[in-house]
Amino acid sequence: MQLPSIILVCSILSSTLIKSMAVDTISMHQTFRDGDTITSAGGEFQLGFFSPGSSTNRYLGIWYKKISRVTVVWVANRDSPLVNTSGFLQISREGIILQAVNSSTGIIWSWSTSKLFKNPVLQLLDTGNLILRDEDRDFKSEEDFIWQSFDHPGDNMLPGMKFGIDLVTGMNRISSSWTSVNDPSRGSFTIGLDTSGFPQILLSKGSVIQARTGRWDGYKFKGIPKRSLNGIFKDEFVFNEKEIYYRFYLVNPTSATMRIILTPTGNVKVLVWNDQQQIWTVYSSLMDNDCDRYGLCGGYGICKIDKTPRCECLRGFVPRSQEKWKAADWSSGCIRKTNLVCGTDEGFVKYSGVKLPDMRSSWYTLKMSLQECEKLCLKNCSCTAYANADARRGGHGCLLWFGELIDISDYAEDGEDIYVRMPSSELVKSRKGKLEFILITAVLLVVLVGLILLSVYKKRKLMKEESLKLDSESVSLTKIENEDLELPLYDFESIAHATSNFSPEKKLGEGGFGPVYKGTLTGGLEIAVKRLSKDSSQGLDEFKNEVSCIAKLQHRNLVTLLGCCTEKGERILIYEYMANKSLDSFIFDSNARNTLDWPKLYNIITGIARGLLYLHQDSKLRIIHRDLKASNILLDHDMNPKISDFGMARSFGGNETESNTSRIVGTYGYMSPEYAIDGQFSVKSDVYSFGVLLIEIITGVKNRLFSHPDHSLNLLGHAWLSYEQDNLLQLIDGVILESNNYSEVFRVIQIGLLCVQHDPEDRPVMSQVVLMLSSNMKLPHPKQPGFFMERYLLRQDQFLSKPNLSSSTQLTITTLLPRQ
């Protein structure tokens, strides 16, 4: 009799144990203790007890199961820690209870309901959502949940999580930061959807706003940086009488792991898991630049990120405090030159390309035209500005502001129009100013035509009198001094003093532009001084182009231009000093290359990619570099890469993505086929150059200098052939091989080959390249690269008679004048 009983008991225990280990749920009457875990059905997330950082306190939380670095995304008892491992969780018909054994504190955390449920069960879903539901009922939507953790966000926002307000129940889903990495209790910072006016997202520290988004435009929230992950996820914004919320979805959940986090220091970051490097990669953040700081320029001020100083007053306004303004304290804002007098002849001044001001003092309706909106604003003495409530389909609806206009910034790339109320006297000045502008423009046009005619005359004369060349350039440089370059102009004396009068001991190197010197300004700031030599292959156009392009760019992977000097016929550019010079001095030097391990090289690769993505997509100017190569990648003290040399760059406006030119510039070995042969360049031209650079970094060999004893293919052809023959190890430099991270290196080679494909349509754009480098998404098979050919070392007398070279190839070789 005892044996069957023992077998029965063992069977029951075994069954219970197997069940507890196999399911993703905690059922009623089941006790969930410290040390127990449940895992979502697909193995994406896990629920259990943990201690954050160096803390010994215990918390019930959810973290990623498949990610090696423990990443907690939700904490139940964040403000009520357990001091030991005696905590346990139970489910009852009344709700959820977390408490400690033999603890005077009793219940640590709980959720309860007045409605009783027959068979409640707590379940962890593959979305990271912990839900309470009735096990006797199938659930098809959120409406079937009794409770869910997604309604109680912590510092993380996951795909599918609603972020906003339920207008029926009054529930407001607001995220709050951790106090520190060791303490998940509610920190100083919160981010939530504000609906006191037109909906916008506010980041606050206590009651003080730190940053905000603009309004939803139908596709995304305005006033935040463009995100390079478009196509990987999609945004959703619901705005109706029942609820107002934002959430995002991954288009293909298996291709990437993505989350948004509010950090303990108060930044909002979009993170994607880099499976190769086993780290979270930051793709964008809410606080990217000075103009993201809320109210930086005060009331009626406008922030301009590409200008110094950052703040200006709107037209018709002056600083409230001139002393503070001069000291770069703009917080007091601006006041009107002429006060409004309600009932008089007032009107509006239009501002285009701006981030609309703080919406909390706004009123809106979608059932009104812009013309009706203007009339409504004029009738209300408190109305200070109006705009379209919905920018889609040409704009419609009415959005009114009352009181000061705060937190306006220049956002020409993706900005909107706003009409600011002004007294009639200022409107007259505005109209007068426009008339003066038209007259001045007309005069300048006449002068310009005259200058063009004079220039033609001079050029003809210079063909006969070469001695006038230097004088003509001196006049042109003087004109540069008079232009508004939005960049400090240094005097020649200070630059000469900083470089010890351009001493050979201070010389860092020399390129197509001329020599580069190290200098130290008064005050100790180290600089790099780029001085155009008299016989340089670059001219005045390239000098002006570099100044106008790079002065307006702000990115951690672009070199910073501090100023220029055009005195005494000089053309000098002053940059931040890069302690480790250029990338080519490392990858093409056998001794220096040994100092770069694979993690450093990979960091350089991803940094270049992000910098190029910024130029192509995220900057105010859409810029094609046209001369991306190893010598134009500079390295700072920490070996972070910065793209430099924008003399050949071209900027586009609007939706332009490509152009043609009859003047081919660039460097042999890096130029794409369509550019070298047909003069057609686009963002895909830079992608091609980036692909060449990747192959050079992996091999440690210059594309132009490569040779192989077994064939006459160029480096790209050799790399592609090695890939096709599954023989990539022989392609990789020995220093990289020592890392033993072959899969990641092979992946970079494949990405490089995808970038150099012959057809531009086949090449990825840089947003796709960045994602490829940071995720384990499946890569397509690369097609044959551009300039996949065998090379012939021919004498000049053999060249024209070689039968298997096409005429187009001959034309390219004989007419191009690229930089060496």
Instruction: Give catalytic residue positions.
Output: 627
Could you give the CA distance from residue 559 to residue 634 in angstroms, rounded to a whole number?
A: 8
Could you give the CA distance from residue 420 to residue 369 in angstroms, rounded to a whole number?
A: 17
Q: Which two tokens stand for residue 456?
A: 């033609």
CB atoms within 10 A of CB 265: 11
Could you give the CA distance from residue 568 to residue 491 in angstroms, rounded to a whole number?
A: 10
Could you give the CA distance from residue 302 to residue 284 in angstroms, rounded to a whole number?
A: 23
Q: What are phi and psi of 79, to 5 degrees?
A: -100, 0
Residue 764: beta bridge partners? none
What stretches of 406-506 adopt beta strand conformation (E)?
Answer: 408-410, 416-422
Residue 685, judged by CB atoms within 10 A of its CB (0-12, 13-18, 19+), counts as: buried
Whether the Cβ atoms of residue 39 and residue 124 lie closer than 8 Å to each other: yes
Whether the Cβ atoms of residue 93 and residue 136 lie closer than 8 Å to each other: no
Q: Which two tokens stand for residue 45?
A: 């997330």
The alpha-carbon radius of gyration of the chain (Å, integer) is 32
Which helix (H) or strand (E) covers residue 274, if one does? Answer: strand 268-274
Could you give the CA distance from residue 519 to residue 499 in angstroms, rounded to a whole number?
A: 4
Which helix (H) or strand (E) covers residue 10, if one does? Answer: helix 2-22
Residue with tokens 């190569």: 629
Cis bond upstream, residue 782 (ω within 30): no
Could you give the CA distance from residue 670 to residue 714 in angstroms, rounded to a whole number?
A: 12
Whether the Cβ atoms of residue 199 and residue 211 lie closer than 8 Å to each other: no
Angle at 313 between CA 485 and CA 193, to 5 degrees: 110
Which amino acid would we find at residue 76?
A
Task: Specify the DSSP class assigned to residue 42.
Answer: T
Distance, CA of 93 to chain centre = 48
Could you give the CA distance from residue 335 to residue 297 in angstroms, rounded to a whole number?
A: 12
What stretches of 286-379 adopt beta strand conformation (E)?
Answer: 301-303, 311-313, 317-319, 334-336, 347-355, 362-365
Which helix (H) or strand (E) covers residue 32, if one does? Answer: strand 32-33
Q: Tell me the C-alpha to C-alpha distance, in Å, between residue 192 and each of 75, 260, 270.
A: 18, 13, 16
For the chain, helix (H) and strand (E) counts, in that order, are 18, 44
